[in-house]
Structure 1
Amino acid sequence: MSDSLSKRRLKMWIRLLGVTRAAEGELREFLRVQHGTTLPRFDVMAALYRRREGVTMSELSRMLLVSNGNATTVVDRLESDGLVRRTPSETDRRTVFVALTAEGLAQFEGLAAGHEAEVARMFGGLSEADLDALTDILKRMGA
């Protein structure tokens, strides 16, 4: 591998990381200001929205790539706000399932619509061809 190609890859990585961090920062601020919530709460609710039947706390932690403790802290707050419910397993008393309540489901749908609109705004300068090319590149990088 040529040294110049290696340096270009490093610069690309730094740029990709910068764009990711900036976008995440904008989304954190958007959720805080417009919806009075946090990105971790949004992420937990999004994971539970995708798995409506509920998941164990361990599954939730794996889905979010966070520790059980971090997931538990967010779920505790969501539960106290009436947005999620915990249900003990009927077959294993050590296992607890967590799922969105009807109120949590409704609130998440509003958050998700706002989140999608904000992402569309943030990346509004990209054409359809840009999106296709970037998506293709990212898929190849992830393979």
Structure 2
Amino acid sequence: MTAAKDRVRLWLRLLKVVRGIEQELRENLRREHNTTLPRFDVMSALSRHPEGLKMSQLSGVLRVSNGNVTGIADRLSEEGLVERSPVPGDRRAIMLRLTPAGQKEFARQARAHEDWIDTLLAGVSPADARAMAVRLQAFAAAAEFKEKETADAQ
């Protein structure tokens, strides 16, 4: 088998595993928390930035368009989980941050999320998990460099 075929096989297996885990997480979030994975992702990003994020920053962190984030932010705001505030000096920008209720709800969801992941990956030893994470991070860093290099050349 050629190196290219080995890498394609690896890619397909990674994709199958990731899609399976993601589907399980989506279903668990829907069933147990009446929420969606994109909503969880928005709250997760905001939890890592307690000072708040501008909508454009949040879109960048999540690697999605502003339009994708706007609807989710609107609903989270209506539910009292996210607060919006104007950005001084920029009338068009809105800062988003979790409210205390949003922090509490996200903490509850994050605990469940961690438990689900732990259960789904129970067959992977902690040492193997760390080693795989290091390898994947190195791969991601190299891929990002190549992506930036390609964009700079254009």
Q: Normalised by the size of structure 2, how large is the TM-score?
A: 0.88
- 42-51 or 124-133, which moves further after superposition? 124-133
Partner of 2:44: 46
1:1-143 matched pairs, under 5 angstroms = 4-143=2-141
Counterpart amino acid of residue 76 in structure 1 = D
Gaps of 5+ in 1: none
Other structure's SS at 2:96 match: strand
State TM-score, norm by structure 1: 0.94
Render the CA deviation track for 1:64-94: whole Å, top value 9, x for unaligned: 0111000001000000101001101121111
Give me the CA root mean square deviation: 1.1
5+ residue gaps, structure 2: 142-154
Runs of 4+ in 1 over 3 A off after TM superposition: none
Give, as a single letter, the amino acid of the residue that structure 1 aligns with 2:41: D
Question: What's the secondary structure of 1:93's corresponding residue?
Answer: strand
The alignment-based identity, stated in percent, is 47
SS at match of 1:94: strand
